[in-house]
A and B are shown apart, each in its own frame.
Chain A
């Protein structure tokens, strides 16, 4: 297939991750599945980029450290890939990947992956599209951080994390305050105040095991989605 034809095919329905899974089928069939318990790191920020991962089950947060704190730069679900960009560049992982709940992931070694890409150059465009979409997500978040109020960002973070976890659990997920803090990029004091206010308005319920979303529509209104 020529690059031009492949390019047109890229605009068809499937997501980039789905296209890449299709393209990598042969490689994935022979890959090892690894189990990660909640809180375990698939890899840490600045580790050598030795492998990519395809999530079979569970949710993973991508975190970057800053001044002793952390910032969540992305959330990934079943069917999504992790670590591709760093492996493509022979670089260290620019962010860490940590399991939020139990996670099963297929691990593909860097050399195997790169060799496969060399034999299948058209897959590079799929990866390109996938990474391009990641930049758009990050840039949209940049705009959100610089222009939206902390209240709206915290509501958005509660909905975003809940949605990611709901796709994997059958029960209503309990959200960790530390994850909401890292995802909303909101100062600790402000976050506590806002969560207290959300609870008073019956939008959420806090307990020792985490935060439960009680009123999704109400949170959507606060986040500005409606």
Chain B
């Protein structure tokens, strides 16, 4: 079957600049290029499931991915969002454990899959890569703890404001400088904030009335960032 896109070459991949693989040696780049598979995922398509065994490392060439855990009742809680250059599944791969969460494409997404053996071989020869992975891991741990504290201590209104600012800093904005460059359903947004979808919709409507945001379907534009920062109680 013919692919609908050209497989990216690691050497010229623009997304690699933002990746933990940015400083990889020339031989490492060639090794990955020779063994990786590239696939396209439609919006809503699952990349891997919680509880499955990892077979390699995923690297996002293009697109956005949500990583979520499911509660006993089946409700999703989004623990992380990923974009171009981010890697997926590195924790399970290196600790030899099963995926602790599910990854799903939020839009048309192109992913490169680096086989486990190739990645571990490169890792064994490149101590800087191990250091960068360790930094990524500790960063993720710190973020998870911060989110836990926020979730337990902050009112939903502040958490929603913080989430909108996080989406702004992570994914940036469209050409108008205000519209977030990520389109999430209200349910997804609620699953990041950790609240009911109805509460999320009500609060977004309040934000709109207060002139903090403009809403156009799934598109959200931040119209008064400073006021949102004050509301979120964060330092710009």
Binds A, one of B16-24, B41-49, B148-156: B148-156
* Interface residues of A, count at CB 8 A: 45
CB distance from A185 to the nearest CB of B (A): 3
Residues A2 and B151 in contact, CB atoms below 8 Å apart:
no
Q: Mark A81-99, 1 if CB is under 8 A from B, else 0.
A: 0000110110100110000
CB distance from B193 to the nearest CB of A (A): 8
Residues B149 and A66 in contact, CB atoms below 8 Å apart:
yes
Q: Considering only CB atoms, which chain A residue lies closest to B122 in the complex?
A: A3
Residues A146 and B194 in contact, CB atoms below 8 Å apart:
yes
A138 at the interface (CB under 8 A from B): yes
Instruction: Kindly identify, within residues 52 to 66 of chain A, every residue whose CB is under 8 Å from any CB belonging to chain B.
Output: 64, 66
* Interface residues of B, count at CB 8 A: 44
Residues A71 and B141 in contact, CB atoms below 8 Å apart:
no
Residues A147 and B73 in contact, CB atoms below 8 Å apart:
yes
A131 at the interface (CB under 8 A from B): yes
A170 at the interface (CB under 8 A from B): no
Q: Which residues of A contact B194 (CB under 8 A)?
A: 142, 145-146
Question: Chain A CB within 10 Å — which of B133, B141, B150 has the most?
Answer: B141
Residues A146 and B137 in contact, CB atoms below 8 Å apart:
no
B173 at the interface (CB under 8 A from A): no
Bound complex: CA of A95 vs CA of B145, how far in Å? 9
Q: Mark A137-171, 1 if CB is under 8 A from B, else 0.
A: 01111111111100000000000000000000000
A101 at the interface (CB under 8 A from B): no
Bound complex: CA of A178 vs CA of B83, how far in Å? 40
